[in-house]
A and B are shown apart, each in its own frame.
Chain A
Amino acid sequence: MRILRAIFSHGSGRIGGIIVSVYLLVAILGMLGLTPHNPITQYRVDRLHAPNGAYWMGTDLFGRDVASRLMAGVGQSFTVAFFSVAFATLAGTVLGLAAAWLGRRWDGVLMRIMDVLLAFPAILLALLIVTVAGPGTWTSVVAIGIVYTPIFTRVVRGPALSLKAREFVDAARTFGSSSSYIVTRHLLLNLVAPLTVQVTLALAWALLTEAGLSFLGLGTQPPAASLGLMLSDSRNLMETAPWLMIFPGLAIMISILGFNLLGDALRDILDPKMRRAPA
């Protein structure tokens, strides 16, 4: 509760929080199918209608309602973003804690593997994984998750190493606490703040990557709706039906903006040392 209050008394946190909440609502409605029209029904007589009372954001080439597709697309994008970031957070935290706690050879081997993944161009790694496994929602989740795992591993390992050297860890050891207790209780709990910030910013990145993959035709597959796919489809109709490009474009941009603002605010609130630090 205290953190919510802190977010809402922070200038950019308030705006980011409102944006993210609205998107969450839209995403849930979109996933539950509570959209003004069915997102894949083709109203053939109403093809390429400009925004009006019946179709708030117009219709596309096949007469599908853009607003409904947008809502379904937001649901889709958020699903991929949340699961991929959850994947990366879980994998990165486990690997980072393992590297820091086990030290020596384990640390060396794990961090070299992360170096390899980091030297591999991110979008190309995602593309390769998607091509191997075949495009689709869950492939995107795994691909984006793997791409962001090294970043979380680094975010966890650094602070975990310095925490490990602190007196309270030595004290816990002398009292006979088990390794798993110390790692979860003393290390992990102290890492919640930097992880929260990283998760929020990673959500922005995951939304961007998901939209990028869909834009290239390697994410969500038609006829399902996705923001990147809608944007990509709008290219040939840009001049006759600009609404096909403008609404999905703005939807992607504002969602990323929301998470960026929220992430910045959380960094200010949770980590006073990092205040005014780079994005």
Chain B
Amino acid sequence: MNYLMRRLATFPLVLLGVSILVFVAIRMVPGDSITAMLGTEAGLLTPAQRDSLAAYFGIDQPWFVQYWRWIGGILHGNLGISVTYGRPVLDVIVERFPLTLELAILSMIIALAVGMPAGIFAATHNEKLSDLGVRIVAMIGQSTPSFVLGLLIIYTLSAGFGVLPAMGEFAPLWQDPLRNLSQLILPAITLGFAFAASVTRISRSAMLDVLSDDYVRTARSKGASARSVIWRHALPNALIPVVTLSGIEFGYLLGGAVIVEQIYALPGLGRMVLDAIQQRDYALVQGAVLFIAFNFMIVNLLVDLAYVALDPRIRLGEP
């Protein structure tokens, strides 16, 4: 409990750092947001119109006033107004986040469903040909960038089967679950492949470590069946590194998969931030980055807490 409190206490500090960093960085991007928003039409604005637009978005003030207002707003749940969307930043983020969350969950399900059995299989067939096969595939999987795999999948589908991945208007899960899944399954496989490869490698090595431990040998010598040794004795302990890896990876995925969203034309968080950076949409970039950093920290904290649940011997926060 003490540990949890101390960890939570560092949150505001790190978030403050992230907020300053993103605030300063996005303001260093050359060009201004009003020109970026209106394009060539910005030239038609009278100075008075330009001033009133700047005042509306709050970008007419000196930077420290802007920062102060922004932080003050956050404490009241107000992240400002997006220049590109003309709507509150929080609304835009809340609209985009479900897709990113769903994609992250689907990829993790794929990674765990494929990676763990593969890793356990390889560990129990250590140094056999089948182990080598699993390891080679996992190594290749880990070395395949998502954009290479994504393009290969699209190419194979279109050249081999004459079908294109379902794109077009994105259907949220609660409106049209089937269409939603058909749109997300290929991106999820694309992201899940390398993820599954990492899970395979780590479950294999964790399982091998555990299988050579004394208590597993004891269980074997007591006559426990091979299946019971693996599932009841070895697996719970081998899970700890798998949880760590999956948690961290999941945390990254919650930040949006910029490139995969780009390839499959998905309106997720990653592409939104990319566009917002290019549009100099200050409020949206700031809000989104802070939101992503917060999620990342929460997921990391949950991973730490999961250790304790899996292994009561671990005491967090002790050096």
Q: Which of A117, A124, A257 contacts B255 (CB 8 A)?
A: A124
A residues 118-141 touching B (CB-CB < 8 Å) = 119-124, 127-129, 131-132, 134
Please determine whether A278 and B201 come into contact, CB atoms closer than 8 angstroms.
yes
Cα-based distance from A231 to B140 in the complex (angstroms)? 19
* B206 nearest CB neighbor, chain A only: A278
A residues 245-267 touching B (CB-CB < 8 Å) = 245, 249, 252-254, 256-257, 260-261
Cα-based distance from A228 to B26 in the complex (angstroms)? 25
What residues of B have a CB within 8 angstroms of the CB of A245 in the complex?
Answer: 151-152, 155
Kindly provide the distance from the CB of B78 to the nearest chain A CB, expressed in whole angstroms: 22
Please determine whether A120 and B21 come into contact, CB atoms closer than 8 angstroms.
yes
User: B145 contacts the other chain (Cβ, under 8 Å)?
Assistant: yes
Q: Which of A112, A113, A252, A261 contacts B148 (CB 8 A)?
A: A252
* A242 nearest CB neighbor, chain B only: B155
A residues 98-115 touching B (CB-CB < 8 Å) = 112-113, 115
Q: Which of B15, B263, B274 contacts A127 (CB 8 A)?
A: B274
B residues 12-37 touching A (CB-CB < 8 Å) = 13-15, 17-18, 21-22, 25-26, 28-30
Q: Which of A121, A208, A242, A277 contacts B159 (CB 8 A)?
A: A242
What residues of A have a CB within 8 angstroms of the CB of B277 in the complex?
Answer: 124, 127-128, 131
Please determine whether A238 and B148 come into contact, CB atoms closer than 8 angstroms.
no
* A134 nearest CB neighbor, chain B only: B30
A-B contact pairs, 15 of them (CB 8 A): A112-B10, A115-B14, A116-B18, A119-B18, A123-B258, A124-B270, A127-B274, A128-B26, A211-B145, A216-B259, A231-B151, A253-B140, A277-B205, A278-B241, A279-B198
User: B239 contacts the other chain (Cβ, under 8 Å)?
Assistant: no
Query: When A116-B14, A128-B277 are in contact, do A261 and B139 touch as well, CB less than 8 Å?
Result: yes
Kindly provide the distance from the CB of A110 to the nearest chain B CB, expressed in whole angstroms: 12
Kindly provide the distance from the CB of B10 to the nearest chain A CB, expressed in whole angstroms: 7
Query: When A212-B147, A245-B151 are in contact, do A112 and B13 touch as well, CB less than 8 Å?
Result: yes
Please determine whether A216 and B255 come into contact, CB atoms closer than 8 angstroms.
no
What residues of B have a CB within 8 angstroms of the CB of A132 in the complex?
Answer: 25, 28-30
* B197 nearest CB neighbor, chain A only: A279
Please determine whether B245 and A278 come into contact, CB atoms closer than 8 angstroms.
yes
What residues of A have a CB within 8 angstroms of the CB of B296 in the complex?
Answer: 119, 121
Across the A-B interface, the 3 shortest Cβ-Cβ residue pairs: A116-B17, A121-B255, A257-B143
* A128 nearest CB neighbor, chain B only: B25
B residues 123-157 touching A (CB-CB < 8 Å) = 139-140, 142-145, 147-148, 151-152, 154-155
B residues 90-120 touching A (CB-CB < 8 Å) = none
Cα-based distance from A272 to B143 in the complex (angstroms)? 24
Cα-based distance from A11 to B195 in the complex (angstroms)? 24
Cα-based distance from A113 to B282 in the complex (angstroms)? 22
User: A44 contacts the other chain (Cβ, under 8 Å)?
Assistant: no
Cα-based distance from A235 to B155 in the complex (angstroms)? 9
Cα-based distance from A82 to B27 in the complex (angstroms)? 30
Cα-based distance from A120 to B202 in the complex (angstroms)? 25
User: A166 contacts the other chain (Cβ, under 8 Å)?
Assistant: no
A residues 204-258 touching B (CB-CB < 8 Å) = 204, 208, 211-212, 215-216, 228, 231, 234-235, 238-239, 242, 245, 249, 252-254, 256-257
